[in-house]
Copies of this chain bind each other. A is one copy, B any other.
Amino acid sequence: MRADARRNYEQILAAAEAEVARAGAEASLEEIARRAGVGSATLHRHFPSRQALLEAVFHDRVAALCTQAHDLAAGLTPQPVAPTSPPPAALSSPPPVGGGSADAGQALTGWLRSLASYGAVTRGLAKSLLGGVQNPTASTCEAMLVEAGNELLRPAQAAGAVRPEVTIIDLLTLVNAVSLATEGSPDADAEAARLVTLALDGVRPRG
């Protein structure tokens, strides 16, 4: 890729991050191009659709959430001999207890909660994920979340904490729906986490 192309790409991405944070997923593409100091045609050449731009904007953050899931999952299985890299600290995940395995159900639900909070607070993220949860092949972010989520869902189901017929698509759809519905309300993150907890626990009194 030519140097000016790469430079413009980065500038557009930076402007898009700012503008989407300000105006949500429906931010004006023209305004983004304007703030990036490029013509609108350049923006459309680099990102042929709004969805493509949103994917690029959110890719790193989604990747971080997936890393978090991966690290949580690694803390569940008795650590196999790991000759690769020293385990990098998870984003903000509670460290797995001692040297043993943490609770698989809690790892999953905790991750889903933080996912919902993050989605509710990050303007435009939930909406940009909405289209693709049903058919994740169309979207890189979706596929990443599905894979990362499955790493937590499988142990949780093996531990009997989640019914076997539940799929990660079900859970991600629910969480994303909650993010979407709570986005914009005050204390969106707490509200999203609360509703996800409610949905995961069910509405009936527990024991």
Contacts and interface: CB of A to CB of B under 8 A. Distances in A.
Interface of A: 105, 130, 133-134, 160-163, 166, 170-171, 173-174, 176-178, 180-182, 185, 194-195, 198-206
Contacts of A133: 181
A163 B199 contact: no
10 contacts: A162-B204, A174-B177, A174-B178, A174-B195, A174-B198, A177-B178, A177-B180, A200-B202, A201-B202, A202-B202
A198 B202 CA distance: 8
A200 B200 contact: no
Contacts of A177: 174, 177-178, 180-181, 195
Nearest to A153: B203
A203 B203 contact: no
Contacts of A182: 173
Contacts of A198: 166, 170, 174, 199
